[in-house]
Amino acid sequence: AMLFSAGMGIGLVFYGAAEPISHFASPPNADPQSTEAFTESLRSTFFHWGFHAWAVYGVVALALAYAQFRKGEPGLLSKTLRPILGDHVDGLIGTIIDVLAVFATVIGVAVSLGMGALQISGGLNYLFGLPNTIVTQSIIIVVVTILFIMSAWSGLSKGIQYLSNLNIGLGTLLLITGLIVGPTVLILNMFTSSTGSLLNSFLFNSFDAAATNPQKREWMSDWTLYYWGWWLSWSPFVGVFIARVSKGRSIREFISGVLLVPVIVSFIWFSVFGVLGIETAKKHKEIFDMSAETQLFGVFNHIPLGIVLSIIALLLIASFFITSADSATFVLGMQTTNGSLNPSAFIKVTWGIAQSLIAFVLLLSGGGDGEAGLNALQSAAIISALPFSFIVILMMISFYKDANKERKFLGLTLTPNKHRLKEYVANSQQDYEDELISKRKGLREQEK
């Protein structure tokens, strides 16, 4: 529950209906609002929210968990690069890496918080007529900031876990209700066919740069590139958090929990609300012209139990808002206290306030306009992701190098082999002692 709430959070609700509707109206590879566009809309959404996102999270989380819990390193991202950078990770280079991770985390989470404020404000405006202005969005940020600071103060085992379970409960209720009141058979059929379409074209789409198609290149910059930036900017935060809550798991369990389960749940979620949204928009054309933050409420307005679903959605957004910010304050506290597994409440509160202020500034740059505010948030996500993308590549190389070295002693898997564990420990101890003796000799030579 904590893994999924931290990993996707507000984005699932914000884009649950909005992204499939947008792709249906303006598909990259089909005629608008055609039968092909229907499948294309879900396939594109699955592509953006599926394996690529969680693979990025998984790389960061696995490298960190391996270094921290297997090698005894502090819980800092820079320490995962020791196999290729050596003791440089303890100096200026390591500090720069950790600063970049903190920067990406703060911006990535601020983007999510800004989206949450936009959608709550848009929902309140659509349902109850409250003004959708920067003032309303600011009040929402202040109220939610107070709530997640209270949650952060209570600690990981209480606040985040309770809210994550609440998220799963509200999300499941919303999902099942949407499946029942929507075109159930069509939803199930589209889930199957769109998943097959994704798997069939997975490699092509992963490498497609639209070299000869300017229109598709523009579409990719608005969607695929934005998500690339968002996932990378979130990877330090989600990766550290996943590593923290996955202690004691085997690598096989870790990969299943990170890469398979969340992806399947995301596909089901977008199938339900994507199909429901598109079918409703076909009958009520005004939904196509609504802003992204209000489209979900526009869809609910035209189906049975719409007001109930809208209220549940608002509660879910607020709960995801609090969970994401709460988890991020915990991670930022870890990253700025030398990897402490239990950062102080004061540190977490300080980072919580800083995140909210940055989200407010990003929304302020949009002047209270939903589309302009969303564009500002998207630009911030891409900017923060670029420098950290190189660090993720280095983390992959470093983890492979370290794990491959250990595998020579432990057999074909990374799980400890009882028959060769003693041999591995003895060799590791000898390597450590030899390295220590070598360093001492070097210091003596320098003194002479």
Q: Mean pLDDT throughout 298-327?
A: 87
pLDDT tens digit string along 109-120? Answer: 787 788 888 888
The whole-number pLDDT of residue 433 equals 63
pLDDT (0 to 100) of residue 244? 77
Number of other residues whose CB lies within 10 A of the CB of residue 359? 31
pLDDT at position 275 is: 97
Residue 439's pLDDT is what? 73
Taking 80 as the threshold, does the pLDDT of residue 382 lie above it?
no
Looking at the predicted structure, is the pLDDT value of residue 339 above 70?
Answer: yes
Percent of the chain with pLDDT over 70: 87
Instruction: List, as one string, the DSSP characters of 267-303.
Output: HHHHHHHHHHHHHHHHH-GGGGGS-HHHHHHHHHTTS
Residue 80: pLDDT band with limits 50, 70, 90: very high
State the residue for tokens 């500034």.
361
End-to-end CA distance of the chain: 59
**How far is 123 from 370, CA to CA, in rounded Å?**
12
What is d(CA 125, CA 132) in angstroms, rounded to the nearest whole number?
Answer: 6
CA-closest candidate to residue 246, choices 70, 44, 431: 70
Return the pLDDT at 417.
46
Higher-pLDDT residue of 271 and 329 is: 271
Average pLDDT on 420-433 reads 59
Instruction: Name the DSSP letter for residue 8.
Output: T
Least Cα distance to 48 among 31, 28, 62, 34 occurs for 28
In Å, how far are 232, 234, 330, 355 from 102, measured between CA atoms?
Answer: 12, 10, 12, 11
In this prediction, residue 335 has a pLDDT band, given cuts at 50, 70 and 90, of confident
pLDDT band at residue 370, thresholds of 50, 70 and 90? low
CB-facing half-sphere around the CA of 104: CA atoms within 13 A: 30
Scanning the structure block, which residue is given the tokens 């196509």? Answer: 288
Q: In this structure, which amino acid lies at residue 46?
A: F
Mean pLDDT of 25-29: 89
Query: For residue 171, is pLDDT > 60?
Result: yes
Secondary structure class of 102 (helix, strand, coil): helix
How long a stretch of residues is the chain?
448
Mean pLDDT of 43-63: 92
Q: What is the pLDDT of residue 415?
A: 46
Flag whether pLDDT at 174 surpasses 90: yes
Specify the pLDDT at position 411.
47
Tell me the two tokens of residue 440.
Answer: 């001492």
**pLDDT tens digits for range 205-233:** 999 888 888 888 889 988 888 888 888 88
Average pLDDT of the segment spanning 270-295 = 93
Please give the full DSSP string across 218-260, using - where no structure is assigned: HHHHHTHHHHHHHHHHHHHHHHHHHHHHTTT--HHHHHIIIII
Instruction: State which of 98-107, 243-252, 379-388, 399-408 shows the largest mean pLDDT.
Output: 98-107
Lowest mean pLDDT among 68-82, 101-115, 305-319: 101-115
Spatial CA neighbour of 66 closest among 86, 81, 88 = 81
- Section 375-397 average pLDDT: 82
What's the mean pLDDT in 194-199? 94
Average pLDDT, the chain: 83
What pLDDT does residue 419 have?
47
